[in-house]
Amino acid sequence: MNATSSPTINPLKEGLSNRPLPRPCNVVIFGASGDLTYRKLVPALYNLQVDGDLPATTNIIGFARRPKSDDVFRAELGEALGKFSRSGRADEVWTDFSGRVHYHQSEFSNGEGYKSLAEKLDRFDAENGTAGNRLFYLSVGPNEFEGILGKLAEHGLNKTKDGSWARVIVEKPFGHDRSSAHDLNEKVSHVFAEEDTYRIDHYLGKETAQNIMVLRFANSIFEPLWNHRYIDHIQITAAEPMGVEARGPYYESSGALRDMCQNHLTQILCLIAMEPPTDLSADSVRDEKLKVVRALRKYTPEEVASNVVRAQYGVGAVSGKEVPAYRSEDRVSPTSETETYVAFRAFVDNWRWDGVPFYVRVGKRMPKHGTEIAIYLKDTPGVLFNAQQAGLGPNVLVIRIQPDEGISLRIQSKRPGAQLAIEPVKMDFHYNTSFGKPSPEAYERLLLDAMAGDATLFARRDEVDAAWTFIDCIEDAWHKNPNPPVMASYPAGSWGPKEADDLLAADGRTWRRL
């Protein structure tokens, strides 16, 4: 067959689906022995197959150091699937899927491993019509990026031919600060063009995160109120009861600010604060998010002390179980100065958000798991009901990212009876109950988008760069300042240090209880 006169549009695909339709490709996962592969990546690819979204001839190649046969790799993945796949494991689908899963053993620095990988991919292309389309997933530490990228380039695996594509997905952390992120971006850009580089932030793949734009721009009720005239303040919370578990060494070099705020929470803040994009293309959306990050007020070291609280958990109890202090965790320094909690007051210095504080907090060893955005509207005027009954709470719109994804709105309502008594009630929307079925996992959507070439839910280089500029101001004030702010502490299982409460109390506000 001759492809030279190939029409560019496949007429048979018209109207078939409004879901992203990726081209058949080969997915290579570097670091395939890691937890992410077993818990998230392969279950996500499997569920895409269950839902009919995975191109039928897609091969999945796990690239890792440990010696292992295809069969052993498949058996391990099959077992993991039973635990981590939202749809469980159906034997017939698994038989077909696992037949296209392969293991490729090699050191990341071994050129021979890449040579044989290239041969394997060429063979799959010939057998399956995957046409040279390749998706490389770097599920490895950033210290491995340069070596892997260099070898991919050396063996021509980043090259495309005849309309095919080669893309790379990069896991966080994307750099340690602005300078290292810049270096990393440079290294990636020598091998993959920006449009082929997908910096993954799994928060953006969550249904509720995707729904923020729909909520704001597909409902006329909210947008007129979405500004400094009607919104008093916004609270963004990401709490988790877990400690650092086995990630002590990583966490020691990262901390809560870099681990969560530079990426996940900044992205969420952007979706809340951005202007409507001109269209839904990846760059239009990311252009608007970038404007928000650039408008984030950069603090001087003195301002950091009064606007940012850092803290570490001490001994305490979570879910009725005693847990050790952070400094007693496995492979954590007993004199560690790494924060496990951070709370800050941020301002987006533009017309829409003039003077509206965004309070952000993130912490480990909190009493419960939950990520949410709470939008507090301004009080009603102090006449009529507000004059009669002091302390009527404001309207609060809460967007729950996880768990129990959904949206609720707190409104005031008259309590039934002859007396005029007003009480807050909640209008509640739960994804699971309203749509009657659980949402897909974030990685499913993100992998599918990367295969389809849609980068909307991935961070662009300039976004990452701008986010680090904001974070570096805080990190520098903590670590390069002769008089750094104190490291507060909080008992494990509490909602954070007193200093964080004081941060809001100074503005006459309190943190929302989850």
**Residues involved in catalysis:** 264
Closer to another protein by Cβ: residue 393 or 403:
403
List 29, 131, 256, 467, residue binding another protein (CB under 8 A): 131
Residue 227 is a binding residue for another protein (CB under 8 A) = no
Q: Which stretch binds another protein (CB under 8 A): 259-267, 268-276, 435-443, 447-455?
A: 435-443
3-state SS track over 397-441:
EEEEEECCCEEEEEEEEECCCCCCCEEEEEEEEEHHHHHCCCCCC
- The span from the CA of 84 to the CA of 178, in Å, is 35
CA 157 to chain centre: 28
Residues with Cβ within 8 Å of 450's Cβ and at least 6 positions away in sequence, in order, are 135, 167, 169, 198, 200, 458
3 state DSSP class of 364: strand
Please, are residues 107 and 116 in contact by the beta-carbon 8 Å criterion? no
- Scan residues 137-166 and list those touching another protein (CB under 8 A): 162-163
List 278, 328, 434, 510, residue binding another protein (CB under 8 A): 434
Closer to another protein by Cβ: residue 129 or 424:
129
Residue 403 is a binding residue for another protein (CB under 8 A) = no
List 67, 334, 391, 436, residue binding another protein (CB under 8 A): 436
Please, are residues 3 and 162 in contact by the beta-carbon 8 Å criterion? yes
Residue 7 is a binding residue for another protein (CB under 8 A) = yes
Helix axes 461-479, 266-273, angle to 10 degrees: 120
Q: Which stretch binds another protein (CB under 8 A): 74-82, 90-98, 112-120, 470-478?
A: 90-98
List 87, 110, 116, 128, residue binding another protein (CB under 8 A): 128
CB 425, min distance to another protein, A? 16
Please, are residues 468 and 208 in contact by the beta-carbon 8 Å criterion? no
Residue 513 is a binding residue for another protein (CB under 8 A) = no
Q: Max Cα separation, the chain? A: 84
Taking CB under 8 A as the rule, which mask of x and - marks residues 413-432 in contact with another protein? -----------------x-x
List 33, 37, 49, 98, residue binding another protein (CB under 8 A): 49
Nearest to 138 by CA among 57, 192, 206: 192
CB 27, min distance to another protein, A? 16
List 82, 111, 129, 393, residue binding another protein (CB under 8 A): 129
- The span from the CA of 50 to the CA of 52, in Å, is 5
CA distances from 505 to 404, 434, 509, 511 (A): 29, 37, 5, 9
Residue 214 is a binding residue for another protein (CB under 8 A) = no
Residue 493 is a binding residue for another protein (CB under 8 A) = no
Count the site residues for another protein by CB under 8 A.
45
Residue 23 is a binding residue for another protein (CB under 8 A) = yes
What is the binding site for another protein (CB under 8 A)? Answer: 1-7, 10-18, 21, 23-24, 49-52, 55-57, 90, 92-93, 96, 126-129, 131, 162-163, 430, 432-438
